[in-house]
Every structure is written in C-alpha cells, then in structure tokens.
Structure 1
Amino acid sequence: LESRVEIKISTMSSIPFLCHFCRRPLKLTQSTETSGLDLSQEPAALAFPSAQGEPGDTPEEGSASRKETDLEELQGSASGWTIPDDGEMSRDNPSHFTLLGELASERTLSSIQRTIAGLGDVLSGEELDHPLCEDCTDSLLRQLDSQLRISESESQTYKRCLETRDGLGEDVRETLEQELKVVEREEARLVQELEEVEKNRDRTAVALEAARAETETLEQQERQRHKDLGELQWQQQELQDELLSLEDRLLYAQTQLAQLKRTNAFKAAFEICCDGPLAIINSFRLGCVPTVLVSWREINAAWGHTALLLVALSNTVGLQFQRYQLVPCGDHSYLKSLTEDPVELPLFCTGGKNSLSNSKFDQAMVAFLDCMQQFNEEAKKGEPALSMPYRIHVEQGLMEDPGSGEFYSIRTHQNTEERWTKALKLMLTNFKWSLDWVSLRYPHK
C-alpha cells in the first residue's frame, strides 16, 4: 500500500495544475508532493499495521481492517486545513494534505484530480476546470464569508418582519392588504404608463432623427443663403460704388453743362480783338503794316477762321448764299462761284513781290464781302435786328467808317498795306458785333 500511494503521489507531482482565476501554475513542495506522508519513517511510524494483521484475524478480515485503519489515519494526519471562528480557511501545517473519498486500491490519478477539482467547485460555487492557488482560495473564502454575513443579516430582517406581521391585528392586516392592492394597481398603471412612455420614446426618437435630418438640411440651406447673401452684399457694394461714381460724374457733367449754358459758344470758339492797327481772330493777325511784320501763312490762317465764322453765322440764321459757296479749309480756304462757269477764288495768298496785286485773291475778298452783306441783310430781319457799325459796299469792295466818313478798300490792287489792313479791321469789328447779336438772338443754339 505504501508503495502504491508513493507511486500515485509521485505521478500527481509530475502533472502541472493551474489556478482557475489567476491561471498561474501550482507549485507543489516536497511535503505536498508526498501528500502529507513522511516516507522516510518506518512503516510502523506511519501507523500502518503490518500486512499480517492482528492475531486471530483472518486474512480477509485483516485486509479489510487494515484498509479502514489506513483510511482513518491518513485522513486524520493529512487534514492540514482548519477553519477558524472568523470563517476563513487557513492551513496549520503546510506538510499535510486532505484526502477525499475512500482510499481504495483501485483509486486512480484521474479520480484524485476530480476530487480536488470538486473541492474547488464546492468552495467557489462554480464549475471549475482546475483547483485554486492559496491566494485565490483565501480571496474566495473572504467573499463567501462576506456573502454569509449579508445573508445572515437579511435572514434576521426577514425574521423580524415575520414577527411583526404575526403581531399585527386583523384590522391592520386588512388595511395593509388593501393598501397593497392599491399599490399593486398603481404599479400596474405605472407599468402601462411606462409602456406608453417607451412607445412615445420610440416615436420621439424617430421624430428626433427626422428633425435632425431636417435641421441638417436647413443648416446647409442657411449656409448657402449666407454665402449667397455675402455675394449679393458684395455686388451691392460694387453697385453702390458705381452709383456714387456715376453721381459724381453726373454732378460734374451738370456743373459743366451749367457752365456751358453760361458760356457763349461763338465767343468761346471765335475770339476777336485788336492790337493797334491789326485785327486778331483766334490769335491770328489779319493784315499787315510796314511797322509790324506778319507772315502770309498767318494771314491765310486768319482768313480761314474768318470764313469758318461766316459759315457758322449763316447756318445759325438759316442762310443759303446766292452767288458764292464759301468753303473754309484753314489757311487754304476758298470760294466757289455758283454761276454757269464755276470758278474757285482762293482766299489765301502765297506771298511774293506782287502779292498785293493778285487779282483772284482780290476777287475772293470782294466775294467774301458779298456773302457778309447777305448775312447782314438776313440778320436785319430778325428780332432784335442786327445793326453793324460799319457799312459794306460790295460792288466797290469798300468798308465805310461812318464816324470819319472814309472808305477803305478790301482789295490789294492799287492800295496800301495800312488802308487794306484798316478795311480788314473794320470787317472783323462787324463780325464781333454779329457774335453778340447771335448770342442774344439764339441763346440755345
């Protein structure tokens, strides 16, 4: 028997055991490997009877008696676990172990393992695949002790409740039962309301999800509207700036218009003045005297401006010349005859020794006086009538000064520079009066 136990225990020591909670391997010491058996002792010291049994016993009786004695002694000596008064399990002797069940010769290693695992299941209240280590076992025992104390407290409470109920009278009991029924009905009503609330909550959750989707859509629309609003505000600002610019331009144009309304267009376009014996139109001198040298180019330009002035005046009064057509072309202006044999009369002179004896140039100046006389006659018909200060004699080509009674020829042939220049001066003086008359007679033209 000793050899069999030793073999079984040594076999158990070679198999590793894991703790169910911490999953750490269980390390078996030499004392635990022998399961609390000191194999160094003699067989008599182990309290195992001899194999022959007591005298007077039969072999069968001796064998059975020895088995029972061995089981009792092994269980007594291997019980190294004790439970103190505080409910916690502790181990008094680390060299002892506990054997469960009968110690029979047919007990195998698997049955011993199942026994140890069953002990762990009993202690933990769970189905365990492996035994527990010391720390986990102590923790489990502390939890069980705490649960035990709680259960004892609840049991005492229940006992007091029962004693209190037994001590109540019938009236009180009936009252409490009625109150219990009322509470139960209230509970049923609240349960129904809770179900309604749950249904409402589900409907509210669906509505909330729809509201969130709608809110997201509205937020996107709001962001788009803010973007559109920003673009419109930017366009508005640009339009306002453009409007302010247009208003400034309009104000400037109105100012210019008012100034132009106060301005005489003819006087602004044609400025006539005198510088000693010479008449000047638009800064060009018309005529020449021995004391003042004037080029023919300047004289021709002055004639061009004078021709342009006469054409503008005739257009204003609506006059069509009868015998000549005046063509202003700057310093090369001329008159075209409207007779059967059209002839161009140059209103300019190229200069030279015989410049003052140029017949065509003289004819052109006489024709110019004819056109000027036609304008004078047309202007006298209007109201107020034009009255030129110097008379025109077209056939003789003369300008008469009523103040002195002298006549000045506009021809250059058989004439002096001073008298020719004086005739041109009188002619431009008449044009200056004509400008004032046109400004008064046709203020809006």
Structure 2
Amino acid sequence: MSYACFRCQRCSKPLKVSQEICAMQEGPLEAQHPASPSPKMPAAGKLEDRTSRTHHPERDRTSQESTCCAFTLLGEPSTQRTLHSIQNTILETFEIVSGQKDVDHPLCVDCMDGLLEELDAQLTLVEADTEKYKSFLERDSLVSDEERESLNAKLRAELQSLEQEEARLAQELKDMDRQHARIEAELRAAEAESRELERQEEQDLNDCAALMTEQLALTDQLSSVENQLAYAQRQLQSLSKTDIFNITFTILDDGPLGIINNFRLGRLPGIQVGWSEINAAWGQTALLLFNLSKIAGLQFQRYQLVPCGDHSYIKSFDGDGVLLLFSDGSHNVFYDNKYDRAMKAFLDCLQQFVKVVEEEEGLFLPYRIHVNGGMLEDVTGSGECYSIRTHLNTEDEWAKALKFMLTNLKLILAWASSRYYCKK
C-alpha cells in the first residue's frame, strides 16, 4: 500500500486526502475500469502504435508526469509497482492528454476561497471594461466623420491647452522652489549677518582703545610724511627742469664714425662694425627724430617714422610700402634697394624738421641736406657732398654721410633742450 500526502500550492500547508481518492489509488483496476474497453480509451494496439511513434519517450513521459502530478508529495511511495498500478497510471495519463480529464491542483479551503474571490474581482473588472468598450464602440459608430474630426481637433486643442497649463504650473513650481530656496538662503544669511554684527560689536569695543593709541602714533607719522612730501616736491621741481633729451640721447662725432648712445653708425674698411650695432644705432636715431617731431608738434609728410629698436622702419604714404631701417648686410650695393630708400626717406623727414626750425628760429646747420639725391653737403668745409645710400658708394663716404647726419641731430638736440627745457 502506497501512502502519499499533498501540500497546498499557495500556503504549503499539508492537505488531508479523502477516503475516496485513497480507494481509487488502492482499489483494483477492474473495480475502477471494467474489462470492456472504454469508448474513450484506445485499444492496446493503438496505444502501442502511439507509443512507438514517439521519438522521445523519456521526455514525453517526464512532461506528462509533471503535468499530471504538479503536487508536492510527502513521504516515500511504495517501491513495488504492480501491473494494476501501471495500468491505472497509463489510463489517467491518456485521459489527461486527450482532454477528457482535468488536472487537479490541490488547494486548501481558505486558499480556494481567496482564489475564487480574486477571480470574481478580475471577472468584474473585465466585464466593466467590456461594457465600456461596447458603449464606446456604439457611440463611435453613431458619430460622423466630420463630428469625429471636430471632436479630435477639440480634444487636441484641449490637450495642448492642458499641456501648456501643465508647463506653466511646472514653471511656477520651479519658480516657487527657487524663491523658497532663495528666501531660506537669505534667512540663513541674515542670521549669519546678525551673529556677525554681534561679534563685530564686541570687536569694535575692543578695537576702540587700540585705535586711540594708534591715533597718537599716526600723528607722529603724519609729521614725518609731511616732511617727506616737501622733499619730494623739491625733487619734482628739480627733475622738471632736467633736460630729458641730453640724458636719454648722447651723440659723439669726434672720431671717424658717428656714435649715438654708444652705438656706432656706419663702418670703414679698417673698422668693421657689426650690422646689429648699426641697426641699433639707426633705431636710436629714429627714436630721437620721432620724439623731436612729437615735442615740436610736427607731422611728417609722405612718411611716418616707426622706431622699434634694431628693427625700426618707415611707412611710406606714396606707395613704397614699408621701408626697413635695418639690414643684415645681404642687400645688393649695386642696385637700388629698400635699405637705401629707407635712409633716404629718413633724410626727407629730417629735412622737414630742419626746414621748420630754420624758418622759426633761424637755426643754421653745418651740413646741408639734399633729399632728392640722398646727399649731405659740407657747406662750412670742403663743400663736398656725400651720399647716405650704399648704392654705388664706398664705405668711407657712407660713414661720413652718416656722421654728418648725426652732427646735425646733435645741434638740433641742443636747440630743443634750450628751447623746451631751459625755459621751465
């Protein structure tokens, strides 16, 4: 006799099996099923044919057993299987597979009542949804296409209005949140400020005595500062009378080459001056003439001086572009080049300044400038002319022309110092 216990599939409580089920499991096969084959039960030959056509009998048997016996068994079944029990199992399996018998799922009474209540509730909801769907379909069938389109348009407009209203309310909510956060921050700041004011009040009381002591020290310092201010004013008056040109620019013309601020301008066969030094000298010369024209209020015609140290240049207003006042010695002395045109343009600017000075002050310079030929003439000496260009020229004559130019600038510098600084 085999004994089997079952558990509820929901609460896992043990179930009591009725005596009828036990009798069906233990009774003889003839009592449950007569010898005559049931009209629903297939013949033995058909059953064997059905079994022989199955490709995976083990898998089919396992699936049938799992479908038929989805119960949790307690205890150990009898290990002895009789022909009677095997026939009962095959018969029940066939009835379940053919749909002639429902599979029982053991549940306790409480779980069964709860399951029925859930099914009733689901059935009620489904019936309500079905009624809604039917009423909607009936109402929709009565509405014409124009009315439906109008209704859809109205609903879309209402939806858009509601979305806009939702966006507006969401924005208002965000604004309120920000305002709330701001007010909280202001409240915390006000509380912190109040505490800080209280602390500052105590600190001010403590500092009052220290400030009174410091006032006495500052009074002494004020007297000292007044004395320093008087000294600084005297120094300012002295510096305002100082000749800035004589301090900034120093021109020497005693030797074979002209020198400005310790930079030699020009070169001789026996004195090979580097081009970097010559470029620096040209930069100082351009800076001197630029400052002289600025203090005299003279605006050059045709050219503009741009002093940039050893890379100074002249801008031409007549279409020559930029004329460079510096060179690395690679310019061709046999052809007219921009370096020569730049030196000639510088002579033009110098002649414009000299012309203004000679007309206003009657200043006489020892070397006359010929702009068209780029020449300087020794009017007080031999009367010879020397070209400032390197084109078809010798180093001796080029160096003399540059020296004559610096000598004229030296005299102009002395005139500017006497006029603009000695009168102060």
TM-score, with length taken from structure 2: 0.48
**TM-score, with structure 1 as normaliser:** 0.46
